[in-house]
Amino acid sequence: MKKKLGINSSSTDKEIKQANFDEVLQEALLSLAPNAPELKQAELIDLVSIDATIELKKFYLKNKDVLNKTAEVALTLSDDIDQVHKGNFPRDIPEDRRRFSDFQLKIYDEQIAKKKIISEFNWPFIFNADSREPEIAGVGASLMGSFFTLIVCLLLSFPLGILAAIYLEEFAPKNKITEIIEVNVNNLAAVPSIVFGLLGLGVFLNYFYLPRSTPLVGGIVLALMTLPRIIIPCRAALKAVPPSIREGALALGASKVQTVMHNVVPLAMPGTLSGTIIGLSQALGETAPLLLIGMVAFINVVPSTPLDPSAVLPVQVYLWSESAERGFVEKTSATIIILIFFLAIMNSFAIYLRNKFEKKWS
Amino acid sequence: MNNKEKEILLKKRYNAEKRFRFFGISSIVIALSFLCILLVNIFTNGLSAFSRTEILLKINFNEKKIRH
């Protein structure tokens, strides 16, 4: 088979995806300063992100008619120039103490004057996975990881918690054993969360050999932590249903199970649901137990199932806060903003549920 | 207990109530200001991450230079 040197208008998408756009990109970058000495050429190439050739490829896949023509393409700048543009790097310090050279700054200023440097909304920050390069790192993977973790946590802790609360409150005989269980449930809510992490490491990873760093294990560990936080408000909500409701149902001939399931539990639902949501929002912000089960790993692909390794939002904050690049400082705070945003949504949903469905007994 | 002693006692109780109000309000103000400092700090640091800087480059898509 003859090896083709370039692509042509009949190339398939697969061939284009394998093609190498480095040379056209280099040519365009070097043309920014045509007479630059060889030493400065590397600085020119460093102006753009290392992902720029991939962006070029994506642009070409969308606009195939540009072959053998010249087109203007928007390419991501490297994080250093990005930070200069946002005013986070001082420009007036000596060159050897900067991460960008005078030459790069000169090119940048030229392009600013020509209005070739633009700012756009950072969609890749929302959808991309983590990266060592701040300009292409995103929270997409940790958003998905947090989502899967919370789903697993909800599916495990909500039914278990509600059933435990109903049994303890409505059916269990009041004796020494249930008293001990009650005390233990209350104590469990006060156990430091990192202890649950140790439990997850010892039991789920080392004994059951569940996959490491996955939302599945994270969700199970967080479910253990959330259980008492669901049981306690659920029991309080069940206690708050007046005895007249139970007596009325029993008087009409309902069995004990019918009384509880048809009359008491529906009335206790608003309190239970808001308690569950508050418990879940605590689980969303939890870092310590997830560190121990390996969810701190550097994951650069967006997980598609709960069995894929992934990070979660608070762990992403922890990881980025340790990175040295200036670009990660703003990314850390931006991740906190996203986390606060989701917590606020969940908590206001809990308040809404409480106000909408809560019955006042007079 | 004569009238004067009663007045002093009453004044003491009113003063105690005023102090209590002052401490209560000031603790709320302190808590809120910490929250404000935290939020302002995070938002001033973080909002710039929601924009990205791009360069418009003229690219010549020469088919001979796109290696396969």
Query: Residue A262 sits in which domain range?
Result: 140-357
What pLDDT score does A356 carry?
85
A72 has a chain B CB within 8 A of its CB: yes
pLDDT tens string B1-19: 788 888 999 999 999 999 9
A91 has a chain B CB within 8 A of its CB: no
What phi-psi label fits residue A115: left (phi over 0), alpha (psi between -120 and 50 degrees) or beta?
left
> Has the ipTM of the complex gone over 0.90?
no
B41, closest residue in chain A (CA to CA): A333
Contact call for A77 and B43, based on CB within 8 A: no
Q: Whole-angstrom Cα distance, residue A128 to residue A142? A: 10
Residues A170 and A76 in one domain: no
What distance in Å separates residue A100's CA from the closest CA in chain B? 16
Q: What is the pTM of this model?
A: 0.88
Residue A294: phi, psi to the nearest 5?
85, 20
- Give me the residue spans of the domains in chain B: 3-48
Q: pLDDT-based confidence at B20, cuts 50/70/90?
A: very high
Query: A20 in a domain, yes or no?
Result: yes
Residues A214 and A103 in one domain: no
Query: A133 in a domain, yes or no?
Result: no
A158 has a chain B CB within 8 A of its CB: no
Residue type (1 letter), A125: F
**CB-based contacts of A17: which residues, under 8 Å, 6+ apart?**
A57, A61
Q: At what angle do helices A102-113 and A38-45 cross, to 10 degrees?
A: 60
Residues A24 and A148 in one domain: no
Contact call for B51 and A4, based on CB within 8 A: no
What pLDDT score does A4 carry?
52
Residue A121: phi, psi to the nearest 5?
-65, 140
Residues A196 and A63 in one domain: no
**CB-based contacts of B38: which residues, under 8 Å, 6+ apart?**
none
**CB-based contacts of B35: which residues, under 8 Å, 6+ apart?**
none
Nearest by CB: A119 against B53, B62, B67: B53
Residues A144 and A114 in one domain: no
A343 has a chain B CB within 8 A of its CB: no
Nearest by CB: A68 against B41, B53, B63: B63
Residues A206 and A326 in one domain: yes
Residues A27 and A174 in one domain: no
Residues A320 and A269 in one domain: yes
What pLDDT score does A355 carry?
86
Residues A343 and A303 in one domain: yes
Q: Whole-angstrom Cα distance, residue A151 to residue B45? A: 31
Q: Say how many CB pairs under 8 Å bridge A and B.
A: 152
Looking at the 3D structure of chain A, how many domains does it have?
2
Nearest by CB: B61 against A69, A74, A118: A69
Contact call for B67 and A6, based on CB within 8 A: yes
What distance in Å separates residue A80's CA from the closest CA in chain B? 11
Count of other CB atoms within 10 angstroms of residue A136? 24
Q: Whole-angstrom Cα distance, residue A23 to residue A308? A: 36
Query: A207 in a domain, yes or no?
Result: yes
Query: Within a 13 Å sphere around the CA of A146, how many CA atoms are in the beta-carbon half?
Result: 24
Structure token pair of residue A238: 């069940």
Cβ A354 vs Cβ A274: under 8 Å: yes
Strand partners, B56: A74
Query: A222 in a domain, yes or no?
Result: yes
Contact call for B56 and A21, based on CB within 8 A: no
DSSP string, A101-131: -HHHHHHHHHHHHTT-EEEEE-HHHHH----
Residue that is last in its domain, among A89, A120, A151: A120
Residues A307 and A239 in one domain: yes
Short-list A172, A216, A32, A5, CA closest to B62: A5
Contact call for B67 and A23, based on CB within 8 A: yes
DSSP strand E in chain B: where? Answer: 51-60
What pLDDT score does A38 carry?
83
What distance in Å separates residue A143's CA from the closest CA in chain B? 16
Nearest by CB: B58 against A9, A28, A82: A28
Query: A114 in a domain, yes or no?
Result: yes
Starting at the edge strand that comes first in sequence, how are the strands of the sheet with A70-76 ordered? A70-76, B51-60, A117-121
Q: What is the pLDDT along chain A (362 residues), one digit of tens a residue?
A: 445 556 777 778 888 888 888 888 988 888 888 888 888 888 888 899 988 988 988 898 888 888 888 888 999 999 999 999 998 888 888 888 888 888 998 999 999 998 999 999 999 999 999 999 999 999 999 999 999 999 999 999 999 999 999 999 999 999 999 999 999 999 998 999 999 999 999 999 999 999 989 999 999 999 999 999 999 999 999 999 999 999 999 999 999 999 999 999 999 999 899 999 999 999 999 999 999 998 988 988 999 999 999 999 999 999 999 988 889 999 999 999 999 999 999 999 999 988 888 777 65
Residues A211 and A296 in one domain: yes
Cβ B68 vs Cβ A4: under 8 Å: yes
Query: A146 in a domain, yes or no?
Result: yes
Residues A147 and A98 in one domain: no
Q: CATH number for the domain including A289?
A: 1.10.3720.10
What pLDDT score does A2 carry?
45
Q: Whole-angstrom Cα distance, residue A48 to residue A243? A: 70
